[in-house]
């Protein structure tokens, strides 16, 4: 019986290995971009993207999606050098204009909003003029108020910007009076306020967004999966209610159906 048990285990392991070998590996670039990706270079990245890739791998066997860490500034070079095949929750307007790629509209809307410290008498008018204020910004991000110019020297010179790699640090700088305004993604701010509800009253958020965008997946022309196939996989998740459930977990919602262009 022990021999039979071992043979069964061996057969099952062979089937699993064959299934993995048959799947086409698709490498997905990821940099720290909360709540979409947190701790991209760790052994267990967190956020919407790792969760989405796990669901995609569970729901089908033709493709195996693997997360490949990159950085906010290195992602263009890594994409062109084929270090990864796809980058998701991006926008082609964020520095990709001269790079060959295909787009898939993920039909997920998010926005960047201004945040300041709540003070007596401070209103939405505080956000109307950024000049002369100290801005805490995320290095490598493309902001609408700066005409999507992410050059650190430009942002420092023109907007008195202090740059780092943490939305949470930027919010704390605002709360402590070290910066006047920061800009964070709406979805991240919702997550931050859920984790620290006592800090909500300390923050003044803008009713007007710096930019509103529909996230895209950007694919290399030689990627092992094309935009139509990826769109079909995501549409299947949406039809089954899995995509909506996942987006809702991160304070997002899919808009309409998946469309490619």
Is the pLDDT confidence value at 125 over 50? yes
> pTM for this structure?
0.84
Q: How far apart are the first and last CA of the chain?
A: 58
Between helix 48-59 and helix 242-249 the angle, nearest 10°, is 160
Residue in 86, 82, 80 with CA at minimum distance from that of residue 64:
86
Distance CA 42, CA 181 (A): 30
H or E stretch covering 215: strand 203-219
Q: How many other C-beta atoms lie within 10 A of the C-beta of residue 219?
A: 24
pLDDT tens sequence across 54-66:
999 999 999 999 9
Q: Of 34, 3, 6, 4, which is closest to residue 186 (Cα–Cα)?
A: 34
Domain 24-109+213-260: top CATH class:
alpha beta
Integer Cα distance of 245 and 155 in angstroms = 37
* Chain segment 144-186, per-residue pLDDT in tens: 999 999 999 999 999 999 999 899 999 999 999 999 999 999 9
Helix/strand/coil for 87: strand
Q: Which two tokens stand for residue 51?
A: 């969760």
Please state the CATH superfamily assignment of the domain spanning residues 111-212 in this structure.
Answer: Periplasmic binding protein-like II (3.40.190.10)
Where are the domains positioned within the chain? 24-109+213-260, 111-212
Q: Tell me how far apart the alpha carbons of residues 218 and 79 are, in angstroms, rounded to a whole number.
A: 10
24-109+213-260 shares its CATH topology with 111-212: yes
pLDDT tens sequence across 49-104: 999 999 999 999 999 999 999 999 999 999 999 999 999 999 998 999 999 999 99
Evaluate if residue 122 carries a pLDDT over 50: yes
């Amino acid at each position: 019986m022990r021999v039979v048990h071992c043979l069964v285990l061996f057969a099952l392991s062979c089937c699993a290995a064959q299934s993995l070998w048959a799947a086409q590996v698709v490498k997905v670039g990821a940099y720290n971009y909360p709540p979409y990706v947190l701790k991209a270079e760790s052994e267990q990245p967190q956020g919407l993207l790792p969760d989405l890739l796990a669901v995609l791998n569970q729901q089908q066997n033709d493709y195996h999606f693997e997360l490949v860490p990159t950085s906010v500034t290195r992602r263009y070079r890594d994409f062109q050098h084929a270090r990864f095949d796809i980058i998701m929750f991006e926008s082609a307007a964020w520095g990709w204009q001269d790079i060959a790629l295909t787009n898939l509209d993920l039909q997920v809307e998010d926005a960047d909003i201004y945040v300041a410290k709540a003070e007596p008498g401070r209103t939405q008018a505080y956000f109307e003029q950024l000049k002369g204020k100290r801005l805490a910004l995320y290095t490598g991000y493309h902001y609408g108020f700066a005409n999507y110019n992410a050059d650190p020297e430009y942002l420092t010179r023109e907007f008195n910007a202090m740059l780092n790699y943490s939305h949470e640090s930027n919010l704390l700088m605002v709360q402590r009076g070290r910066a006047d305004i920061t800009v964070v993604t709406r979805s991240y701010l919702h997550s931050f306020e859920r984790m620290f509800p006592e800090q909500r009253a300390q923050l003044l958020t803008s009713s007007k967004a710096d930019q509103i965008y529909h996230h895209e997946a950007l694919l290399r022309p030689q990627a092992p999966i094309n935009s139509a196939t990826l769109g079909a996989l995501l549409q299947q998740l949406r039809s089954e209610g899995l995509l909506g459930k996942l987006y809702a977990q991160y304070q997002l919602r899919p808009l309409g159906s998946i469309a490619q262009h």
